[in-house]
Structure 1
Amino acid sequence: MTQSSVEVPEPDWGAAETSSDLNSEGETVVDCGTCGAAFDAWVTNSAGDCHVTLNDHPDTRVQADTAFFSPEEDAWSDTDLPENPYSIWDGSYQQTCAFFDTHGEEAGDALINRMVFAQHVVALEAYLADTLLKAAMGDPKVLGRLLEHDLDLRKEKFSLLEIQANPDFVRDRVAAYLRDIRYHNLAKVNIIYKIALGVEVLVDGEAAAPLIAAMRLRHDCVHRNGFDKDGEKLANFTKAYVGATAEAFRKVVQRIDLALSPF
């Protein structure tokens, strides 16, 4: 049996009022890992089960795993920075929690639970990225601290021609560097936040451990569809765990926002 990944139509999350609304269907292409042939197919995604039928071979059995969706790693890289990153995060947090209260399941391997968990992670990453970028682009002192103390920035080398060609070269280069950071790497983000803003993302070992562990699970959600590196399906995402993780993220965001508040 060969395996391959295929595009699956994504449900309309915003319009869903019940779990039965999380259904979608459409065309896709299945590539054969053995012969390299491509087969047109029709896929039905019920947000819990995925069914694939080859158009020209409807009797051929196709085994499909549960579909999983996530934004691209650099989903915010080419967008304008929001005026208030905290309000964007808070809106996502409130809506996601409300949805989870109604539709979350007790089972630790439930698809809905994994998706809500991933959304909380994405919202945290976006907040950390937007907050740091906004501060660096809006405050020369923050920009200066990054240039002076961030080791990766300090070792970069450019020609005088490159610098002369763009009056905003330094600012643009720092922005590009900050956009390229993987904000689920909390250890690295913690260092940069301390350098630039004097604020810690990870306060101490006891509070940091569950956050770092959650980011490891995030990797298995996004890149392995809820399975670990040994092919075992994860059952960590109980309703209690997802709720506790969301609460831990909330404390991080609110502590950072309070520390950076001018009042």
Structure 2
Amino acid sequence: MPSAKEAMWDAHSTEVSFDCQHPNCDHIVYGEVEFVTFDVSAENVSDGHGFSRFKTACQECSTEYTLNALSFATGTEVKVEGYPDLRVDYEFDDYGYEEFLANYEPDNPFATFMVARVELLNLLQIPSPFPALPFYRMMFLAHVSMLEAYLSDSLLLAIASDTQALLALGETISEKKKYTLTEIAANPNFVYDTVKAALQDRSVHPNEVGEKYFKQVFKQTIFRTDETRTYFRKMTEIRHDCTHRNGLTREGVQHHFDRGTIEEFAERVNQLVGHVENIRNGR
């Protein structure tokens, strides 16, 4: 039966995030760990556990952290060494979502974005039966989601038709893993499928990480100005607060949302997408 070490070869990576623990830093740390599934065929429960370890660092203060992932029969747990009670956010689905992603091919990211944009802006014109703050927070997250989907699908379309872009992005995000000649020969789309899966394991945030991906693929930044880069970096941090702390900062301060802030954010998102469209179309 496979041991825990042998099970590690079935791993794939996924993004994790947590609050930086440096006393003078309030930023979010992003990293990746290899997730391993529990081997249900193991004779002993302990033999079925998978384990992976990964090092990452805060992009703001450079504090280093070690992440450990351990799979159980009930799921996978991720901990930061030295901080056993620190909440680590991640997504891991072992029930068919990988197959869906493997078969997914984006069609027209810009058209999809525009339809979603119109629908969301129309919602702002309708009196909401929900309390104002939760409604506008939901609207903020919806705009973030459609922006991240647009960015990810734009990268997928680019690497599907540009070998140089595919290889450049692969050097940035693919796992440092050895493959056999048999594995490579068995799939004529091996490189594309591998890079595609690695990209889909990550959220393409409009921050330094997403900017790095676009620089690899398009040789240009997604931000027109430093102010735009700073703005969307802040919005990415607010996204984290809304998703994982119900809109509260680490200090417990509630982020404010109203119709005006959503309309402003929607326009900034629209401008960013317009800029990226110009890059995609070579203008």
Instruction: State whether TM-score is above 0.5.
Output: yes
Q: Which amino acid aligns with 1:240?
A: G
Aligned residues between the structures: 187
Residue of structure 2 in register with 1:127 after alignment: 150
1:186–1:202 contact (8 Å) kept in structure 2 = no
- Identity level (%): 28
Per-residue deviation, 1:262: 5.7
- Secondary structure at 2:220 match in 1: coil
Match of 1:203 among 219, 224, 242: 224
Distance change (3 Å), C-alpha of 1:222 and 1:79: farther
2:113–2:147 contact (8 Å) kept in structure 1 = yes
Per-residue deviation, 1:104: 6.6
Distance change (3 Å), C-alpha of 1:168 and 1:217: same
Per-residue deviation, 1:193: 0.4
Distance 1:243 1:210 in 2: 15
Match of 1:141 among 153, 161, 164: 164
Residue of structure 2 in register with 1:246 after alignment: 266
Residue of structure 2 in register with 1:111 after alignment: 134
Q: Which amino acid aligns with 1:137?
A: A
Distance 2:229 2:135 in 1: 26
Distance 2:239 2:117 in 1: 17
Q: Which amino acid aligns with 1:136?
A: I
1:186–1:201 contact (8 Å) kept in structure 2 = no
Distance change (3 Å), C-alpha of 1:98 and 1:79: farther
Q: Cα deviations across residues 133-179 of structure 1 (Å, max 9, x unaligned)?
A: 011012223213334xx344384432323223322211110111111
Scaled by the length of structure 1, the TM-score of the pair is 0.63
Distance 1:143 1:217 in 2: 31
Residue of structure 1 in register with 2:7 after alignment: none
Structure showing greater relative contact order (alpha-carbon pairs closer than 8 Å, 6 or more residues apart): 1
Distance change (3 Å), C-alpha of 1:88 and 1:136: same
Distance change (3 Å), C-alpha of 1:121 and 1:156: same
Per-residue deviation, 1:240: 1.5
Per-residue deviation, 1:225: 1.8
2:172–2:213 contact (8 Å) kept in structure 1 = no
Distance 1:226 1:79 in 2: 34
Q: Which amino acid aligns with 1:169?
A: F
Distance 2:124 2:103 in 1: 28
Match of 2:111 among 63, 87, 96: 87
Bigger mean CA deviation after superposition, 211-220 or 88-97: 211-220
Q: Cα deviations across residues 74-118 of structure 1 (Å, max 9, x unaligned)?
A: 98845623321100000001110111133479x9x6111001100
Larger Rg: 1
Q: Which amino acid aligns with 1:191?
A: K
Distance 2:173 2:147 in 1: 23
Distance 2:176 2:103 in 1: 27
Q: Which amino acid aligns with 2:266?
A: A
**What are the within-5 Å matches in structure 2 for residues 1-263 of structure 1?**
77=101, 80-103=104-127, 110-147=133-170, 150-153=171-174, 155-184=176-205, 186-232=207-253, 234-261=254-281
Scaled by the length of structure 2, the TM-score of the pair is 0.59
Per-residue deviation, 1:127: 0.2
Structure with higher strand content:
2
Distance 1:254 1:81 in 2: 22
Distance 1:112 1:173 in 2: 39
Q: Which amino acid aligns with 1:131?
A: S
Q: Show structure 1 runs of 5+ residues with no match.
A: 1-71
Distance 2:147 2:117 in 1: 9
- Secondary structure at 1:120 match in 2: helix
Q: Cα deviations across residues 17-44 of structure 1 (Å, max 9, x unaligned)?
A: xxxxxxxxxxxxxxxxxxxxxxxxxxxx
Q: Show structure 2 runs of 5+ residues with no match.
A: 1-90
Distance change (3 Å), C-alpha of 1:82 and 1:171: closer
